[in-house]
Amino acid sequence: PDGKPLSKKALKKLEKELEKEQKKKERLEREAAERAAREDAEGDCAADKYGKAEINMSQKQTNTVWTEVKNLSTAMEGQTVNIQARVQNSRPTGNKMCFLVLREGTATVQGLVDANRDNIISKKMVKYANSVSRESIVSITAVVTVPREPVKSCTVGDVELTVNSLFVTSQVVEDLPFSIEDASRSEQDYEKDPTLNRVLLDTRLNNRVIDLRTVTNNAIFKLQAAVGHLFREYLTNQKFTEIHSPKIIGTASEGGSNVFQVTYFKRNAYLAQSPQLYKQMCIAADFGRVYEVAPVFRAEDSNTYRHLTEYVGLDLECAFREHYHEVMYMIGDMFVYIFKNLEARWAHELEVVRQQYPSEPIKFDEKPLRLEYKDAIALLRKHGVEIEDLADLTTPQERELGKLIKKEYGTDFYMLDKFPSGIRPFYTMPDPTNPDYSNSYDFFLRGEEIMSGAQRIHDPVLLTERIKALGIEPESLKDYINGFEYGCPPHAGGGVGLERVVMFYLGIGNIRNVSLFPRDPKRVEP
């Protein structure tokens, strides 16, 4: 260390230490070789019960009965089942036992490969099971057993699988960018142990295929599908017709500048900001009640927690007899139907999500609370918020209003009615008694907007006046206006952001977590 040559005594001591290490290494290698030789001599009683399966090219059908992990129960104790699942984790205990965490969809269960059973499972099979790379897909045959204590680390914890055979059907050949365990942790986990690996949002989204494998994400997108299903189910029962309108259009559908322009052969076209004009044209065509589930494109350079440039729109439009409240309250009933059925029919998925993203179930009334815009402004002012009568609510003001309404009325879900005319689109019907306001409404969940809607102008003269007042050239909307010149019933409707409903219902803090492959101003991949 001091740069001086070693003394003879020190040199001799070093040589002895090196010789000792070399002998230890040789001894360990010899013991390993002898152990391998003994095992080879003993043979492998389980040689035909494990390994890598041949590539599935649909060579045959065996009519094997497969059991889903989520359906395993104590009632199946002693039964032999066939399972296909991913190996989320493996943990050896000595050389005769290996524990596996097997995952399928939103369910996980513990598997046990145990060489202590006479001539059934070999130590080689245990070694092989432990060597299977994480996230590989395996086909196993196992006996359902009931552990002495529930396996708390698995969603199916009241049973365990004693593995009899294990074959890898799809092997992971590259290192994962992050572990499924790390991607599944809650904020509470990090508070308890700050040294745990945190998977950042960009890392998740850059490797979305891996991220989507977590049981939480699997459940989130089952719930997203459920919201779309319930939207369709309710409206179909209300005699609505599903439509499919074009997404390449000749002019901006909302009359604004937040639109994506695309080259369409020798001229320009636009990606639809909403199906608004086509919904209304269908009402003019006597469809009566229509809805659509389709992508919506917004060229807004907003990099917030709740904005996307492409999202799934749940849109509806409905003719009414006397008053737009007929439609508004029907929409309120639709949301109540969705919320109640999510809790009743998708309870398992909600439980899975709330393990990672804890939240209280939303509170709502059978008949949703309705407040007029001016009353909301008054409530905010009463609690010290400065805002003009006809000003649009900012996001912080929306959230503050949600807290005040929750405190005063005990609900997370409510409607704001009679918005100022100046902050609504050109096709919004003015209030008949005060032109500063309009027959328009928004729906809010946990203090954030999930739907915007209104009575539409169905009179062509008034519609043309409104279009000109906003500086839009009526000629660019002639096909739309013409539909009303031939007569059109009064009608109202709205547009729902699917991702926003899921995000706020589940209490998840960023909309990108509930968008399958999100698009925002900075992201167009993967």
Which one-letter DSSP state was computed for residue 456? B
Tens digits of per-residue pLDDT, 257-286? Answer: 689 999 999 999 999 999 998 999 999 999
Q: What does the pLDDT read at residue 157?
A: 95
**pLDDT of the residue at 42:** 63
For helices 373-382 and 395-409, what crossing angle results, to 10°?
Answer: 90
* Cβ(129)–Cβ(100) below 8 Å: yes
Q: 232 CB contacts (<8 Å, ≥6 apart)?
A: 242, 291, 293
The residue annotated as part of the active site, out of 86, 185, 500, 512, is 500
Q: What's the whole-number mean pLDDT along residues 440-450?
A: 97
| Token representation of residue 520 | 């925002």
Write down the catalytic residue from 307, 466, 491, 512. Answer: 307
Which pTM was predicted? 0.88
Is residue 512 flagged as an active site residue?
no
Q: Is 306 a catalytic residue?
A: yes
Six token digits for residue 91: 């943990």
pLDDT at 32: 72
**Token pair in block for residue 357:** 């993203």
pLDDT grade, residue 479 (50/70/90)? Answer: confident
pLDDT > 80? residue 61:
yes
The yes-or-no answer on residue 300 being catalytic is yes
CA dihedral 204, 208, 211, 216 (to 10 degrees): 110
Q: How far apart are CA 261 and CA 32, in angstroms?
A: 69
Residue 257 confidence (pLDDT): 61
Nearest to 306 by CA among 114, 153, 499, 113: 499
Q: Which one of 208, 306, 354, 370 is the catalytic residue?
A: 306
Percent of the chain with pLDDT over 90: 83
Tell me, yes or no, if 181 is annotated catalytic: no
For the segment 331-361, what is each residue's pLDDT rounded down to a tens digit?
999 999 999 999 999 999 999 999 999 999 9
pLDDT tens for 97-121 read 999 999 999 999 999 999 987 678 9
Check pLDDT > 80 for residue 10.
Answer: no
The confidence band for 38, taking pLDDT boundaries of 50, 70 and 90, is low
Say how many C-beta atoms besides its own lie within 10 A of residue 489's C-beta. Answer: 13
Report how far residue 94's alpha carbon sits from residue 92's, in angstroms, rounded to the nearest whole number.
Answer: 6
Q: pLDDT band for 253, please (50, 70, 90 cuts).
A: low
pLDDT at 24: 87
Does residue 37 or residue 469 have the better pLDDT?
Answer: 469
Q: Which two tokens stand for residue 196?
A: 């745990």
The span from the CA of 224 to the CA of 498, in Å, is 7
Decide: helix, strand or coil at residue 427: coil
Average pLDDT over residues 122-138: 95
What tens digit of pLDDT does each residue of 197-238 get? 999 999 999 999 999 999 999 999 999 999 999 999 999 999
Output the average pLDDT for the chain.
93
Residues 431 and 473: their CA atoms lie apart, in Å, by: 24
Residue from 86, 103, 298, 456 carrying the catalytic annotation? 298
Contact predicate 250/262, CB 8 Å: no
**Three-class SS of 261-287:** EEEECCEEEEECCCCHHHHHHHHHCCC
| pLDDT exceeds cutoff 90 at 6 | no
Q: Is 51 helix (H, G, I), strand (E, B) or coil?
A: strand
Among 341, 144, 322, residue whose Cα is nearest residue 233: 341
Confidence category of residue 44, pLDDT binned at 50, 70, 90:
confident
Find the range with the poorest average confidence among 104-118, 286-300, 426-440: 104-118
In this structure, what are the phi and psi dihedrals at residue 212, rounded to the nearest 5 degrees?
-70, -10
Please indicate whether residue 148 is annotated as part of the active site: no
User: How confident is the model at residue 499, as a pLDDT?
Assistant: 98
Could you confirm whether 298 is annotated as catalytic? yes
* CA 420 remoteness from chain centre: 34
pLDDT for 27 = 83
pLDDT at 25: 87
Annotated catalytic residue, options 39, 233, 254, 300? 300
Q: Where are the alpha helices (DSSP H) in 346-371?
A: 347-356
10-24, 84-98, 110-124, 323-337: which is most confident: 323-337
From 160, 292, 400, 449, active-site residue: 449
* List 452, 458, 466, 499, catalytic entry: 452
Give catalytic status of residue 449 as yes or no: yes
The reported pLDDT for the residue numbered 262 is: 94
**Res. 398 pLDDT band, cuts 50 70 90:** very high
Cβ neighbours around 200 below 10 Å, total: 9
3-state secondary structure of 281: helix
Nearest CA to 273 among 241, 248, 242, 243? 248
Residue 378: pLDDT band (50, 70, 90) is very high
pLDDT for 252 beyond 80? no
Residue at token pair 């057993």:
145
